[in-house]
Each structure stands twice: as C-alpha cells, then as structure tokens.
Structure 1
Amino acid sequence: MTARLRIALDAMGGDHAPDMVVAGADLARERCSNVEFLFVGDEARINALLDRHPALKSISTVRHTPDFVAMDAKPSVALRAGRNSSMRLAIDAVAAGEAACVVSAGNTGALMAIAKFVLKTLPGIDRPAIASIFPTLRGESVMLDMGANLECDADNLVQFAVMGTVFSRTVLGLLEPSIGLLNVGSEEQKGHESIREAAAALRDTPLARNFHGFVEGNDIAAGTVDVIVTDGFTGNVALKAAEGTAKLYSEFLKRTFASSLLAKLGYLLARGAFGKLRLRMDPRRYNGAMFLGLRGICVKSHGGTDAIGFSNAIAVAADMANHGFNDKIRDQLAVLQAALAASAAAKVEADGQGSEAAVQ
C-alpha cells in the first residue's frame, strides 16, 4: 500500500476553529485519498467533532494542548510565549519529521515567525516569501511576496522568481511559466535599483528564456505572466487592493439588481450565468497562502474561511508535498547558482582580456 501523507493541522487557528478545521479536513479527505491528519489542539473539542466524521477519525490522531495563538497576538510574543501552542506544536511536528506539512488558519505574522524560527530556510534562500494564487483572464497566476518582506534586494527577488517558478510547475501544472517583475512601468529604466538589478540577474540565468521583463499592476488580472515577483510591501498592497475591488463590484451588482422590479427580473434570467461568475471568483478557491523557502511545507489559510476554503488550503499543501516541492527548489537553486557563477567568471575573464588589450 502507498504510504499516507501526514498533514499537521493547527486545530485552534482561525475564527471558526476547531469546527471549520475538522469539517475542512473531512472534505480534503474525500479529495486527497492518501492523506492522514494530526490535529493539534483541545483534545475534548476535537474528538467530539471527529465523532461526527467516522471516516476522518479513522485516519486522524489528536495531540492535546490547551494553548493557542490569539488572532491579534504579536508575532514576537507568540514566538516567545507560545511554545506549547497548537500552532507551534503543529510546526514542530513537521520539523521532527512526524508530518510532511502544516496548515493553519491562525495569526499570519505569528505563523511566519514561528515557522521561520523552527523550520529554518532552505540552502540558498535568504528569506522565505508568502505566495498566493490570483485568478486572471488567462487562468491563474502566482504572486510573491505578499507581505513577509517589506524590503527586498535583487538577490531576494531572484530567489522569489525561482520559488514562484517551481510552485507554478508543481501546483498550477505549467511546464514553462513566464516570469515578470512588478514595476511602475515596463521600460528598462523604470523602477528602483534593486528591481533593475534583479532583472539584469535573471537575464543571466536559465530562467532568462521565460523572463518577460517588467509588468505593471494591470498585468496582474490580465494574466500577462504566470509568476509575478515583487517585494512584500507592494505585493500586500496589490492583494488588498484586488480584494477590495472584488468586494466593491460585488456590492455594486447586488445594489443594481435590487434597484427595480425590472432589474430583479433581469437577475432571475441571468442567474445561471451569475452562478458561474460567483464560482469563478469565489475566494475559497484560492485560499491558502504558501510560505515558500522554508525547510518544511507551511500553508496559511485565511482566518475567516469556512470548511471549503480550509479544505482547499489542505489540498495545496498535499500537492506541494506529493510533488517534492522543496527538493525541486533545491535543484533549481543549484542550477541557478552555477549559472550565475559561470556568468560572473566569464565577465571577469572578459574584463581581464580587455585590460590586457588596452595595455598592449
């Protein structure tokens, strides 16, 4: 029999935990046939919920702790005082090899701080990044960083490009994902020094064949590229702006169709089409922000999501684990570093030959 993939769940993280966590795991069990779960949290509450899902209970283990990280806790406090929290113990299970990945709907800052402290970063990765999937006119794209690193240098952005490329191949199933650096214009002279240096570096790597160049904010929804690379400050602003715009248009539609009897009739006639639109734009489909660059797989679910959204976050974690995501990042980084070293050596040799020619 194929070995089951064990996923650690922070059962107490999220606005509707642990009910949402258990119900989401049961939905994920139906989608991912090879998984089993380690629930970390209040044993009595979790077991009472598992009793309602016999099939899920048969593939689940519960690790008791009365402690949890509050949604408004400061990351530094959670890191120091939350050593016995459900979030910390779930992450510890990944570090100890007891679980292949961890999923939590808890405090984002605390999850990143604890995961980075416990799991550490992969060789060649200076900083982990938060990645998220965006719906586009062409399908789906991934953007990183979404808020973990407010300031990034050129090396960070190049590493993000590698991680985003591997994620697109692993989770989105794209063979040759295109890469773009989010900027204030598409011209080569636009943007700050770090982003221009990152563009130059990417052109000297094996990723150059898929490097589109600079992209702007309107290219995100257009699906101009498959991997959008940016610093955490810009990425988080773009994410919140997109979420706000989606809510705005949704509210406009509701008010428009409620404005008159004729408008209500029009809605009834177009109800099927609007159902498809609602499904396409349902944020639960894209739930699950990935912490890329760590020595273990960690997925952050939206804190206010329901069982459907949480099950999607679990599915993302399972995909990454089943496809050896971190091993692929290591391989890609090794290729990238070799290419950069060869490019630097060639440049030094060319400069040396130029100096000799000048002397002669």
Structure 2
Amino acid sequence: MKKLFFLLLIFMVQFSQAQDRKYHEFGWKQKYGIVDDIGQEIVAPTYLWAVYTLHDQSQFIALNSYEEGGLIINTKTGKIEKFDFMYDTYLVNIADEKYFYAYNKDKSFLMNTLDLNKRIALPKIYQDVKQEGEFLIGNVSENNADILSKKDFKILKEYKSMTDFSSYETGDHQRVYIVNQNKTTLFLDENLNQLFSAKNNLKDFKEIQKFLATKNIKINEEPYPIDEAIIGPGPNYPHINAVIEGESVVYNIYQSRNDFQKFFKFKKKNFRLSNDSFNNKVELSTRIDNSIFTQLLFYTDVHTKTIFLPKKYWGEIELELITE
C-alpha cells in the first residue's frame, strides 16, 4: 500500500511540473530547439542532442552541441544561459546528488542535475571531468590531467603524462588507484601516496590483478553500475496514443480505456514511431546500422489540445489538428 502511494505521489508531482512548464524541447531533422507554450519557436533546431541525464524533476531543459556549445533554459521563466560546452555523458556523485560538467572560456563548474543553478566551481578549465572512487579527474589536454578532491575540489596531483586513471577495491575493503602513463604504471593508496610502480603500462584488469598479487594485494573486478528505474502501473489519464488509419497516423486523447477523442494526425512515412504516453510526447526516428536518429520530436498538452511544435514544420509531414 505504501509503495502504491509513493508511486502515485511521484506521478502527481511529475504531472504538476509538466503543467507548470512553459517551454519544451522539440526535435527536427536530428537537431533540437525550444518552443514556448503556444507553439512559438524560441530557439531554432541547431543543437545536436538534448541532455537526458537531467533529473526527471528538473525545472530545466539542456541542449548541447559540439559547434553551438551548451544551452539551458528554465522551463518556467524562459531564462536562457549558454556555455562553451557541457560534458553530460558522465555524472559525478557529490553527497548523494548528481552533477555534470560545464565550462565557459573563463570558468568551469559542476551543475546539479536537479537544479542547474546549484553549481560547484572548479579551479581550472577542463576538457571533461569524471569521477573515480573518491576523486575527480579533470583532463586539461591529451595526457595532461589533474586529480581533485571531492571534498573541497582542490587539485591534489598534477600529471603531465597520464593516459588513464582507474581504481579497484582490495580484499580488505581499501582502494588502490592506478595511474597509467606511456611506459609505466603507478599504484597509489587512498591518500594518493605511491605504493609501487611497474615498468610497463598495465591496463587490462587481469594484468593489474596478477601484478598486485605479487604484492599480496587482492582485487576483484567490479560490475558496471546500473541505475534502477521506478516503473509505474501505467500513464495517467488523459493521455495520447496512436492508431494507424490508412496512410495516416492518428493520435487520440484517452480519458479512460474506452473513452477517447481524436486530437491530430500526420502522414505515415518510413519512420520509426515512438509514443510516450507518460509525457504525451511523439518521436519519429530512423535507424542507420545500430544508431537511431531523431527526425521529429514534440510534446503535447492534452488539456488545451496544443502541439508544441512550430507550425512552419507541420507541412512536411502533413500534420493537422482534427476538429469534429
């Protein structure tokens, strides 16, 4: 009973936040932009991807691109901020909160995935920042990296020839850190004091394990961390769902399992159709080899019957509202 109440509470919070949103991302021909709550284009689709490592309750949208840099927009106020780049692939865990790295020409920081206004300043401009055990690794340039403290974010070590940095838990629940260089491997303790070194570059786990065994240190390979997702019983009503009618894809608004009304339709083309009834989102994509490319993405409001896609893009797929 408590679990059901918890799930219902999550859905109520997410629903309330969705209603508060006045700005949404949309996708057009493999790029992303921003639209407001009346369908007006605020940011043209020039960004290569949307940052989906944000917390699902964040009040922000983040878009990223190698050429354009990064952009965040507050979905309530519309305030926009731009960055030279946001490194959003890897998250850093600080005090049980998630952060990703961003920088401009004169500053760099970690941004909280729930509240992008909550930031931690870093001492240098890095290409990227990753987490390893109780430390952060800031890559300054190729083979040039700093090791930073996760407590005060000060630089603890500087390496001019680091090719990799990793760590493993030992049999006595300590941690050993490995600094790979061009022709040597350094082994450090939990305080980054050097324990010993090898005269060759040991990167493979089996090689490292065999070497440490000669020092009476046992390590085990650690599984890749997997975040568990909470899966609810199904989308709330009302929500959208699609049916195929001849050469068209028709979206209906369902008030209940059998009570629905037509909402909009568009020409069925050679796209993969993804329907997200939790967020009332539509996505059309193409698959090339093992990669999926978004050709069209937009959100809808089932209460006001609004499509959050600028009308100048409707004609290409013959999208139209259905009035009955």
TM bin (shorter chain): under 0.3
Greater strand content: 2
Determine which structure has more spread, i.e. the larger CA radius of gyration: 2
TM-score of the pair, normalised by structure 2: 0.26
TM-score of the pair, normalised by structure 1: 0.24
Higher relative contact order (CA 8 A, sep 6+): 1
Greater helix content: 1
